[in-house]
Amino acid sequence: MKLKSYSAGIVIASLLISVLVLQINYSIKIKEVVKKQFNEQQLILAQNIAKQISNTINELIREINFISKTNKIDEINKIVLNILYQYKEKGLTTIILEDTKEHKKSVIKKEDKEKPIPSSALRIEKRNRYLYIEKFSKNKKIIMKIDLYQLTSYFAHGIRSGKTGYVWIIDDKGTFLYHPNKNFIGKNALEIRKLSAPTFDFGEINKIQKLKMLKEKRGTGEYISAWHRNMKGKIKKLLAFTPVKIPLTNNFLSIAVCAPESEIENIIKSIYNRQFAIQSIIIITIIYTIYIMIKFEKEIQKQLQEEIEKKTKKLKESQKKYKTLIESAPDMIITTDMEWKIKTVNKTTIKKLKKTGQEIIEEKLYNILKWDELTTQKIETQLTKQGKTNIEFLLNIKEKEYIINANITIIDIGYHKEIMVIARDITRLKKLEQQLIYTEKLSSLGLLAAGIAHEINNPLAVAMGFTELLIENFDQDSEEYQDLKIIIKNINQCKKIVESFLNLSRKHNVLEPININDIVEQVVNIIKKPLKKEGIETIVKLQESIPIITGNRNEIQQILLNLIINAQDAMPYGGKLYIKTYTKNDKIIIEVKDTGTGIKQEHINKIFDPFFTTKPEGKGTGLGLFITYNIVKKTGGSINCYSQENKGTIFTIKLPIKGEHNGGTYISN
């Protein structure tokens, strides 16, 4: 017994020493891993700020290009004032317009006293704290002046890494553009720290700035500082930095995010505590087991038997939990042998394939999932090479087509190998991706429409000018005078149409107090007579004293016009059009009902998809209801459709009511 106790003591002592060594190595590795992950998160934060600054500069470049394409001075003034208002907080201080033909200058906000940059098609130049963007087009020169202090402060102020970390930004000359300490702004980053703490060695951070940040590099690092916010003394900091390239120049900014190493101490402490607890439990368990083995060998055998029984029970419970997890999984989970014969399936598989378990088990997987021979051979080749593969394929179930993404893996369960298939229905995801593609197409169509409208305006202006000259040569009572009056009237009508076209191609972000009933009445007054000529009777029922809301008048008009035009197309032989407004459950309801041909049930779920139409070629684009749906969603509302073939269709729009103003109710977009 004494020999056994002595041997046990040696084993325990060796175990404790081994655990101590492992704990030290583990602590060092954990600290390095946590620091690395924390710095990677800081780098992501810096990259996000860099992207926002870059996006803002690119947006201003697009805006100056848009101004250069506009010829009417009143339109240019409106656009410029809107841009100044929109980007004021982001550092845009001045927009200068020069008429290079007549040598006239129009300063929209305030006089730029610095010498303008030389003219070119598009030029960007950084001078000290300011960034100048110049555009030369035909007889115009436009100059934008951006305050980089204000631009960087807009995106960096208030950003924190952890609890106390912050952002600072320098330019390619090493000058602080932003720092939480305002005394640093405008000062050289390699000098100002030394002035604030003359006896401290800032060699590490200066080396990072010189060799990496001022060389337009991205990365992470560590350095010792003399302070951090209100803390003073030697403080080790974690740093991440990334550059922002200024387009069309050799200049750049460097975004830095820093935080004290103490930010990660709680994380490391928590990991240490958990590890210590686990190791303590393991050591105590081993010591207790050795003690029991020496003291009570027979008792150990009994306990081991009980332990085996417990483990067996836990294993059964674990198997049961695993089976429950598989059965409740939203994905199809299938296992087969190496010959593709199906062995197990979960409930999702049975439900998705619309088959019973008996119809699936022992069948070949490629027959159930309807793979062709080429697809099956490709999968087998990938499994042979890599042991796993991923495929997408079409699966037709009960005359309905689904897009399936499947992960296929060979699994080794000890005594033999099986194939596991985890398949997911991604039909809806693919549909959303397609809608994003359609949205990009719509954006291109909008730009094309704006360009065409601008081109039409020029010949209309010429025609108007010559007509007004001609009319002065005739008496007001003459037939020629009256004919020319009709021409002028129609040219003005064309100009209004072109202006409406331009308005539709632009983004309308102006919100104003609107009365839904007023908009309905305005639209009805426009379309009532044309509808009457086609045998369509318009019946309007509006709730009195309907709440006033804030919104975009043009967009609400466009919603109503789209729905009325659809109703008109659905009643080629005449009918009745009902338009109704009322409030219910803090929402304004607009109903547009027709007695037309209705919508087929197989089409009802597609009517809001872009470019979907059942109209003959040349009669519709399939964009009306798509645009309507997106406008309603943007306002926080909803749109529903109920239809019966040959009986008619009802569109119901619900707009939320929020906030109080001047006795009315407003929507905040």
User: Which one of 286-290, 460-464, 641-645 scores highest in mean pLDDT?
Assistant: 641-645
- In angstroms, the Cα distances linking 339 to 376, 380, 391, 410, 626 are 11, 10, 19, 12, 48
114: left (phi over 0), alpha (psi -120 to 50) or beta: beta
**Token duo for residue 216:** 């337009």
- Per the listing, tokens 């003005």 go with 492
Are residues 154 and 257 located together in one domain of the fold? yes
Q: What angle do CA 184, 84, 187 make, to 5 degrees?
A: 10
Q: Which residue, among 510, 540, 537, has the nearest Cα to 522 in the 3D structure? A: 540
Asked if 550 and 514 count as a contact pair (C-beta separation under 8 A), the reply is yes
Point out the least confidently predicted range of 122-131, 239-248, 459-468, 578-587: 459-468
Q: Is residue 3's pLDDT more than 50?
A: no
- CA-to-CA distance for 561 and 555, rounded, in angstroms? 10
Q: Give the span between the Cα atoms of 592 and 609, in whole angstroms.
A: 20
In this structure, how many other beta carbons lie within 10 angstroms of the beta carbon of residue 504?
Answer: 16
| The pLDDT value given to residue 356 | 82
Q: Does the residue 317 lie in any domain?
A: no
Report the pLDDT value the prediction gives residue 626, as an integer from 0 to 100.
80
Q: Which of 425, 450, 481 is the last residue of a domain?
A: 425
CATH number at residue 112: 3.30.450.20
In which residue are the tokens 């076209």 written?
501
Q: 295 versus 11: which is more confidently predicted?
A: 295
**602 inside domain:** yes
| Residue 336 domain-assigned (yes or no) | yes
Residue 315 lies in a domain: no
d(CA 290, CA 273): 26
- The single-letter DSSP state of residue 101 is T
* C-beta of residue 169 within 8 angstroms of C-beta of residue 176: yes
Separation between Cα atoms, residue 657 and residue 669, nearest integer Å: 11
Q: Residue 49's beta-bridge partner residues?
A: none
Contact at 8 Å (CB) between 152 and 104? no
Residues 444 and 558 grouped into a single domain: no
Same domain for 269 and 335: no
Angle at 433 between CA 427 and CA 438, to 5 degrees: 125
Which of the four pLDDT bands, split at 50, 70 and 90, describes residue 651?
A: very high
For residue 82, CA distances in Å to 72, 85, 122, 193, 668 come to: 16, 5, 21, 41, 20
Asked if residue 9 is part of any domain, the answer here is no
Decide if 20 is inside a domain: no
Query: CA-to-CA distance for 625 and 645, rounded, in angstroms?
Result: 19
The domain spanning residue 614 has which CATH number? 3.30.565.10
Q: Average pLDDT in the 579-598 region?
A: 92
Specify whether 229 is located in the same domain as 137.
yes
Task: Give percent above pLDDT 70 in the chain.
Answer: 78
Check: CB of residue 515 under 8 Å from CB of residue 548: yes
Are 444 and 517 members of one domain? no
355-399 per-position pLDDT tens digit: 887 888 888 888 888 888 888 888 989 888 888 899 888 888 877
User: pTM for this one?
Assistant: 0.41
**424 φ/ψ sector (left φ>0, alpha ψ -120 to 50, else beta):** beta
Band (pLDDT 50/70/90 cuts) for residue 155 is: very high
Contact criterion met (CB below 8 Å) for 163 and 144:
no
Summarize pLDDT for 158-199 with one digit per residue, the tens.
899 888 999 999 999 999 999 999 999 999 999 999 888 899
Q: Which of 394, 468, 447 is nearest to 425 (CA)?
A: 394
Same domain, 77 and 158: yes
- Specify if 243 maps to a domain: yes
Confidence of residue 578 (pLDDT cuts 50, 70, 90): very high
Residue 316 to residue 344: CA distance in whole angstroms: 18
C-alpha 356/C-alpha 156 separation (Å) is 59
Asked whether the predicted pLDDT for residue 542 surpasses 80, the reply is yes
Domain end (from 425, 451, 481): 425
> What average pLDDT does the structure give for the chain?
81
Question: What are 389-445's pLDDT values in tens digits?
Answer: 998 888 888 778 888 888 999 888 777 888 888 988 888 877 777 666 655 655 655
Which residue has better confidence, 267 or 263? 263
Q: How far apart are the first and last CA of the chain?
A: 83
The DSSP output letter for 161 is B
Q: pLDDT tens-digit profile of 483-520? A: 888 888 888 877 766 665 565 555 555 678 889 999 99
Are residue 577 and residue 661 in the same domain, yes or no?
A: yes
> Are residues 230 and 126 both part of a single domain?
yes
Query: How many domains, in total, are found in the chain?
Result: 4
The contacts of residue 520 (CB under 8 Å, 6+ apart) are 540, 542, 560, 579, 581, 590
Are 460 and 561 in a shared domain?
A: no
152: in domain: yes
Same domain, 465 and 567: no
Q: Residues 151, 204: one domain?
A: yes
Q: Give the residue numbers spanning the domain of 568.
A: 512-666
Whether residue 265 sits in one domain with residue 180: yes
DSSP state for residue 110 in the 8-state scheme? S
pLDDT in tens, 458-471: 788 778 888 888 88
Query: Which of these three, 282, 316, 344, is where a domain ends?
Result: 282
Give per-residue burial for 577-592: e unless 16+ CB within 10 Å, then b: bbbbbebeeeebbbeb
Nearest Cα to 95, choosing from 136, 146, 163?
A: 146
**pLDDT top residue among 365 and 245:** 245
Q: DSSP 3-state helix, strand, coil percentages of the chain (rounded to 5)?
A: 50, 25, 25
